[in-house]
């Protein structure tokens, strides 16, 4: 029990920083605190955000290219043994309950994207049933490929993911109230309590979805072997890096309240920077230490899982009645559905935050999605 206490202390300190620092920055810049506590959020689309900058877009592209280049160089020097591609066990028949989930998902997809009058009373509420169907469908795929899945192996742990997921995503909602990167449409008919309850139910699907896709990736031996052995970044585990992550994360959170158009990436990067920085400075073994040694067996699959879920989030959002739109400064071009193309890079760091969240709640019983 004592070994877990430091992580709890980090979590409380990081949560306090996420709540307080943007608010301090906003008050410092002359904004009124009351505007950040309105439910449901107002459709307040910034008109003064710079839409596109080739310098900013080029910087993002250069960073992604550098990361991809390090992976390609490593792959050329470190071929994967042929034996690593053998599946762990033969595939099984897709379960009947999985087919029911497929039918359920397709039905809600049809309801979400059509405007038939008969479905009008429920078209504002399609997000949760659609994503619940997705989660169960992916668990069925895992069951067919591996003979087991989290949903059936540890149902209590699976349900716990839904509860933690709601609180986890509300953290990002809080930060978005300062940077205004996404805006919900068709929520004006909700009262404060109805909106909070409905939003919480929708947010509860985030971690179960990403965890399920991560577990599915583990059943694909060729892909899993390729992405778990990656380039070593020894600088990531250094004490100087830990200090930089802590100080940079805190300053960036403060900046979201002062200059949201410039510091909006902190929404996705600052919580992870604070968590990793605390781990590095405390000497606790974790994902940064693994990546420093070239061991990506936890980091890379979660990043890909979040990116895959991001595609489906954006696809199903695209033509739904209850949806969100984006204002992403400096890179708001080349849209794929509602999301700017370069905005999908945020899903990579988000996957690492999903990993951190599932680790924190002690998902040791999960053989793939939480390892």
Q: Predicted confidence band at 366 (pLDDT cuts at 50, 70, 90)?
A: very low
Q: pTM (2 decimals)?
A: 0.92
Amino acid 89: pLDDT: 60
Amino acid 60: pLDDT: 96
26 domain residue, yes or no = no
- Considering only residues 368 and 46, tell me which one the structure prediction assigns the higher pLDDT: 46
Number of domain units in the chain: 1
Residues 325-346, mean pLDDT to the nearest whole number:
96
C-alpha span between 39 and 26 (Å, rounded): 19
Q: Predicted confidence band at 3 (pLDDT cuts at 50, 70, 90)?
A: very low
Residues 347-367, mean pLDDT to the nearest whole number:
80
Q: Are 344 and 307 in contact (CB under 8 A)?
A: yes
7 domain residue, yes or no = no
Q: Dump pLDDT digits (tens) for 232-284.
A: 999 999 999 999 999 999 999 999 999 999 999 999 999 999 999 999 998 88
Partner residues linked to 52 by β-bridges? 331
The boundaries of the domain holding residue 220 are 38-231+294-360
268 domain residue, yes or no = no
Q: Predicted confidence band at 5 (pLDDT cuts at 50, 70, 90)?
A: low
Residues 307-333, mean pLDDT to the nearest whole number:
96
- Considering only residues 204 and 322, tell me which one the structure prediction assigns the higher pLDDT: 204
166 domain residue, yes or no = yes
250 domain residue, yes or no = no
pLDDT above 50: residue 338? yes
Q: Are 41 and 184 in contact (CB under 8 A)?
A: yes
8 domain residue, yes or no = no
146 domain residue, yes or no = yes
10 domain residue, yes or no = no
pLDDT mean across residues, the chain: 91
- Considering only residues 347 and 188, tell me which one the structure prediction assigns the higher pLDDT: 347
Q: Predicted confidence band at 6 (pLDDT cuts at 50, 70, 90)?
A: confident
Amino acid 127: pLDDT: 97
């Amino acid at each position: 029990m004592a070994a877990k206490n430091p992580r709890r202390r980090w979590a409380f300190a990081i949560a306090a920083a996420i709540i307080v620092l943007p608010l301090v920055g906003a008050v410092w810049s002359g904004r009124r605190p009351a505007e950040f506590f309105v439910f449901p959020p107002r459709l307040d689309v910034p008109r003064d955000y710079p839409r596109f900058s080739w310098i900013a877009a080029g910087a993002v592209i250069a960073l992604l290219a550098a990361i991809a280049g390090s992976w390609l160089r490593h792959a050329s020097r470190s071929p994967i043994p042929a034996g690593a591609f053998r599946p762990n066990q033969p595939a099984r028949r897709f379960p009947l309950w999985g087919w029911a989930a497929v039918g359920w998902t397709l039905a809600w997809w049809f309801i979400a994207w059509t405007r038939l009058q008969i479905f009008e009373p429920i078209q504002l509420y399609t997000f949760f049933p659609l994503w619940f169907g997705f989660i169960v469908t992916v668990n069925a795929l895992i069951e067919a490929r591996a003979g087991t899945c989290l949903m059936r192996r540890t149902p209590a742990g699976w349900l716990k993911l839904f509860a933690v997921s709601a609180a986890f995503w509300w953290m990002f909602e809080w930060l978005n109230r300062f940077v205004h990167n996404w805006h919900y449409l068709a929520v004006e008919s909700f009262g404060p309590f109805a909106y909070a309850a409905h939003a919480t139910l929708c947010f509860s699907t985030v971690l179960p979805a990403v965890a399920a896709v991560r577990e599915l990736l583990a059943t694909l031996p060729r892909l899993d072997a390729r992405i778990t052995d990656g380039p070593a970044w020894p600088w990531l585990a250094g004490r100087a890096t830990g200090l930089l992550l802590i100080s940079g994360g805190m300053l960036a959170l403060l900046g979201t309240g002062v200059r949201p158009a410039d510091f909006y990436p902190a929404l996705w990067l600052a919580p992870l920077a604070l968590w990793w920085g605390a781990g590095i400075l405390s000497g606790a073994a974790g994902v940064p230490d693994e990546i420093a040694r070239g061991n990506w067996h936890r980091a890379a699959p979660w990043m890909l899982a979040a990116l895959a879920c991001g595609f489906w989030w954006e696809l199903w959002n695209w033509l739904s009645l209850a949806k969100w739109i984006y204002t992403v400064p400096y890179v708001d071009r080349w849209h794929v559905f509602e999301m700017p193309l370069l905005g999908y890079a945020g899903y990579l760091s988000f996957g690492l935050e999903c990993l951190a969240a599932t680790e924190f709640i002690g998902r040791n019983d999960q053989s793939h999605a939480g390892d």
